[in-house]
Structures are given as C-alpha cells and as structure tokens.
C-alpha cells in the first residue's frame, strides 16, 4: 500500500474510538460534544496520535522472489493537526539469482487535517520515498514524491469508513531505472470491538502509467488489539486480486506503542478506547 494511504489509515486506526466500555458514562449528544476540548473522542472521528512501531513484513512475488522487511516507524505530531512519519526499512531480498540484504528506501509521510466534525474528517496527504537503498535491488532507484487527499466518516461508534486518493511520481534521473507514475485509490472500513480491538479491511486500486495504463486491485485485512496499556499488537494479510501479477502474498505483524491515548471528557485514561 502506498505511503500516503498507510499514513491516513494509521492515523484513523490510532485515533478512532471503539464503542464505549460498559463502565464508562453514557456519551453526550452532538451539541454537548461540540463543546468538549480539542482531542476529545466526541470532537472528531480521528485524532492524530504519535507512536512508535516495529513490524515484520513478508512479501512473496511471482518468479520465486520474496522480500523480508523489518521496518521501524515513528510518528511525530505538530500543532495537533499535522503528523510526520518516518520509516526506515531493513530489507532482505531472496530470488533464484541469490540473496541481497541492506537498507531499503527511507520513506517520509505527512497528513494534515483540514477540518473535522464529530462524524467527519478531511485531510491532505503528502510524502516522499528517498533513493537511499544501500543496494540497487533493494529500492526503486528513484526519488519519489506523493500528494493526495483522504476523508473519513463515522456513522456509528463501532464503524469508521474512509477513502484515499493519491498520485505518486518519480523525480530526477536514476541510471536507466523505470519512471514511477502511479495513481492510487483506497476504500476501507474499520470495525471496533469492546475490548480495545479492531478489524480493518481495504480494497485498493492502482494504475501505473509508464508504458500505458496498467491497473491492479489489491485486498487487505488487518486485526489487532491493545494488550498492555498503550502497547498494541496487530497482524495484516493481503494479496493481489486482479491485474498483471505483481504480488502473490503480503503478510505483516508488529507491535506499536502510543505516546498517548485520546481522551474522553469525564472519563479516566484507563477507560479510553483506541
């Protein structure tokens, strides 16, 4: 999944609330929630929550190629409406020709909230993929920039739906490496449980333009839960559903630590949902 899409999805997942715990007071109506301080659960369906994450990703491609990534990710919040993300991947690529390992392309992302209501949020997305791989096979060989937009709607406390669209372009020269010109659209839903857990489902289409428009469709499901305080575990499974074959299987598992949890007016931090 392109960086801007994962950035918005992670912001949604980190900030959207689950249904209220039976031990917490009843939620106020919309008029009362509008008076809650910024950052409260009732103010917006999402809240940008800085975090630290470590995950392992396995990708199997046609032709006997597989990639193992160990990714360290950090989100940093600015002014409560902007979040920057840094991703550093250590990569091991295996193919019939042999094995290559090293550091992959460093990724930087940004999400900026334009506006929100108790049920809706809209954001601008941006980012870059740096041509920083230590071995040519471990990266795209191109510095890339991304720009797009996303929106989320929360009709019920247990369901949040969202959409993302972005364009990804390569810049500069790369010694004959192919250009990158990709348009992506992602539609997803997150279902929240009562025990600090969630299920996320995505359908994503990509269209690559160099050499003619080539479309692909991907599907992905993720399940996770907070387990101890601010520490959560998750697992993700994805595959390509249609289009010229590029990915057979994508499997990820990881742990994330939230630097803070969103707060609800009148409820203690221990009873908050994520």
- The domains found in the chain, sorted by start residue, are 3-271 (2.40.160.40)
Residues of the chain with pLDDT under 50: 1, 4-5, 7, 10-45, 263-274
Contacts of 194 (CB under 8 A, 6+ apart): 18, 19, 21, 22
What is the predicted pLDDT for the residue at 212? 79
Euclidean distance between CA atoms 178 and 44, whole angstroms? 41
b/e map 62-79, b = 16+ CB within 10 Å? eeeeebebebebebebee
What is the predicted pLDDT for the residue at 141? 87
What is the predicted pLDDT for the residue at 18? 35
What is the predicted pLDDT for the residue at 32? 33
b/e map 121-145, b = 16+ CB within 10 Å? bebbbbbbbebebeeebbbbbbbbe
What is the predicted pLDDT for the residue at 229? 84
What is the predicted pLDDT for the residue at 47? 63
What is the predicted pLDDT for the residue at 119? 83
What is the predicted pLDDT for the residue at 12? 47
What is the predicted pLDDT for the residue at 46? 54
What is the predicted pLDDT for the residue at 31? 34
What is the predicted pLDDT for the residue at 28? 39
């Amino acid at each position: 999944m392109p960086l801007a899409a994962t950035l918005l999805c992670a912001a949604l997942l980190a900030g959207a609330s689950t249904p209220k715990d039976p031990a917490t007071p009843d939620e106020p109506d919309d008029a009362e929630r509008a008076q809650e301080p910024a950052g409260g659960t009732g103010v917006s369906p999402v809240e940008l929550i800085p975090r630290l994450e470590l995950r392992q990703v396995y990708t199997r491609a046609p032709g006997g190629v597989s990639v193992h990534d160990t990714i360290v990710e950090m989100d940093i919040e600015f002014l409560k409406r902007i979040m920057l993300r840094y991703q550093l991947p250590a990569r091991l690529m295996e193919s019939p020709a042999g094995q290559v390992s090293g550091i992959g392309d460093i990724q930087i992302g940004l999400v900026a909230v334009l506006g929100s209501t108790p049920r809706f949020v809209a954001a601008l997305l941006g980012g870059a993929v740096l041509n920083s791989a230590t071995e040519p096979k471990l990266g795209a060989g191109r510095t890339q920039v991304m720009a797009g937009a996303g929106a989320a709607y929360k009709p019920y406390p247990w369901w949040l739906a969202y959409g993302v669209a972005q364009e990804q372009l390569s810049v500069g020269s790369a010694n004959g490496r192919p250009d990158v010109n990709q348009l992506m659209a992602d539609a997803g839903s997150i279902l929240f449980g009562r025990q600090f857990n969630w299920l996320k489902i995505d359908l994503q289409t990509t269209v690559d333009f160099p050499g003619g428009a080539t479309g692909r469709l991907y599907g992905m499901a993720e399940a996770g839960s907070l387990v101890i305080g601010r520490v959560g575990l998750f697992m993700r499974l994805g595959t390509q559903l249609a289009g010229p074959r590029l990915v057979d299987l994508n499997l990820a598992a990881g742990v994330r630590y939230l630097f803070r949890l969103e707060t609800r007016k009148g409820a203690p931090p221990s009873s908050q949902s994520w």
